[in-house]
Amino acid sequence: MMVGIMRKAGRSSTRGGRGFGQGVAVWLLLLGGMWLIGAPAGAEALSQKVEVRNLGISRLGERSMLTVLLDRPARPQVAPYAGAGRSQLIVDFPGARAGRLPERLEGDEVLVKHVRTEVSEAGIKIIVEMVPEKPYIWKREVQSLSGGRAMFRLTMWADPNATGRPSPPAALPPPPQPLAPRVPETAPSPPKPTPAPGPGDWKAEEPPSGPPIPPAPAPATPASGEYAELYRLLPQAQRLLDYLRVEGWSVAQTQRHDRPGVRFSQSFQLTNPRFPELTVRIAHVPPNAPGAPTINIVDLSMDRLTGKAADEYRSLRKWDFGKIKTKFEDIGDFFDDALKPLRVELRQQCQSIARRHAAVIKGFLGQAVPGKPQLGDKVLTLIGQKVSPRFEGVQYTLSENPLVILNLVDFLYIRVYFLEG
């Protein structure tokens, strides 16, 4: 799942909005918002000093990004530093002018602890305070925007080859002196044991603990109708289908897609009167090319959630750009002022549902991924994390075989991919 933040010049509000299946689209919308918030080039554009107009920290999947909006293209100096219990990336714009920059931004809850800016006659420094115990890799790029403006982006992601070494490598010069006074720091405390991994640290390849979960009891009667069709289409999910039948899930809706003879995909929706907010959605997608696998997707979703916030959010998601512009100054305001508060409320409502139906989540995952008996408990832990108003939704990869995705953006769902052939 990508979580992003942008800030509009002259205002200290954050931008955000990320959703599974919408990562690329939302990112493009955010870029569109950035084009809208930049002021047109005027007399100041003739100055020799670049103007740093705004910046933001965002998250796209497992990557953290520092985005800086400039009045013209510029390539700053980037210097990593590690030592004395801290890890930093220092972005230096020598001689630059400052727009209305935030003094401090909170991090992205993955690699970045916080970001702060230091402004003086010598220029502008942006200090990215990294999580010391997480080695990382970084790259930088400059992108031209309309009107002669530009965007500098610093992208950081976890080093997959790191084995407990500090990040970045040692033998680096000490960090530059701050351009503004700050409170002296106390001497670093002795090293502490590495804490247990948090939600963002958990890797899909984590080995399971304990014996595999036994299969669900066989249904009392043979499958018939739509269920018989599901057993035929999803042979790899037989034990999950057994579990759903025993628990009282029935097929409420079926659909057939595409043209017969070309590709004939099908979708099913299962409901259960004991769990009115939950839906099991199943999609069967045959191969569309020689050698391609058949893809079967099974979701446990909370998209039947009702109430004022859910109805209003569904309505806002249908707005086109023209309607957004009649109500909000730019796309960023639409995300911040309209979508984000509702997403936070939906996350909290989904947390409550997950607590109430924890047994359903654990049973669903236990039969879908029997080789990882602790997966259900881990998912409930991730769902139960405190909702941050700045990061109202994230996405986790829980398993690779089968592929399992936990989506916490919009309406919570757990998605399992079964590949055949």
Q: 267 pairs with which residues across the strands?
A: 255, 283
Q: What is the pLDDT along the chain (421 residues), one digit of tens a residue?
A: 333 333 333 333 333 333 333 443 433 333 343 333 333 333 333 346 899 998 888 877 778 889 998 999 998 999 888 776 788 899 999 999 998 888 888 887 788 988 999 998 889 999 999 988 888 889 999 988 877 889 899 999 888 876 544 444 433 444 444 444 444 444 444 444 444 434 333 333 344 455 667 777 777 788 888 899 999 999 999 999 999 999 999 999 888 876 655 567 889 999 999 999 999 999 998 887 777 788 899 999 998 888 898 888 888 888 888 888 888 887 778 888 888 888 888 888 888 999 999 999 999 999 999 988 889 999 999 988 887 776 666 788 888 888 999 988 878 899 999 987 6
Determine the angle formed by the axes of helices 340-356 and 375-383, rounding to 10 degrees: 140
- Using only the alpha carbons of the chain, give its radius of gyration: 25
| Model pTM above 0.85 | no
**Topology given in CATH for the domain delimited by 23-174:** Immunoglobulin-like (2.60.40)
| Nearest Cα to Cα of residue 12 among 340, 388, 332 | 332
Planar angle of CA 105, 14, 183, nearest 5 degrees: 20
Residue with tokens 């010598």: 122
Q: How far is CA 166 from the centre of its chain?
A: 25
Q: Mind giving me the DSSP string for 104-124?
A: EEE--SSSEEEEEEEEETTEE
Determine the angle formed by the axes of helices 375-383 and 358-368, rounding to 10 degrees: 140
Residue with tokens 């750009």: 321
| Nearest Cα to Cα of residue 396 among 417, 414, 410, 384 | 414
In the chain, ranges of CATH 2.60.40.3500 domains: 23-174
